[in-house]
Amino acid sequence: MSSVSDRSLHCIASAPLSPAGQRLLAQLEKDDPLLLTGKAVALAAASHPSITDWVATGAVIHALEEDLLAHGITDLHPSVITTDYVGWVSLTENYRTQVLWR
């Protein structure tokens, strides 16, 4: 029997520097799961100016592979875990709730 975490899976689709992104950054805690989708995958780039702030929260950062490809992002920060749609579904099965930040 698998255990489901009481933590929320945070999913962000807007740019990391957007107001929603900044609110999320202020709330993230160690081991919080975070999935970057849409415009938010820009944060996964090793050269993104804010990636170190996000990594410093201790959150576990995932980026949707299909969106990384669509945005041409190939040089990822080493802390970012890529996941596909099947992996996204697996993530949702591990957490009681999902919070979408836009």
Query: Does residue 1 have a pLDDT over 80?
Result: no
Q: Which domain holds residue 56?
A: 5-101
* CATH code of the domain containing 56: 3.40.1260.10
pLDDT, tens digit (0-9, with 9 covering 90-100), for 6-15: 999 999 999 9
Instruction: With 0.85 as the threshold, say if the pTM is over it.
Output: yes
Contact 58, 27 (CB under 8 A): no
Give the whole-angstrom CA distance, residue 12 versus residue 81: 15
Residue carrying structure tokens 């740019």: 15
pLDDT, tens digit (0-9, with 9 covering 90-100), for 41-84: 999 999 999 999 999 999 999 999 999 999 999 999 999 999 99
Q: How many domains does the chain have?
A: 1
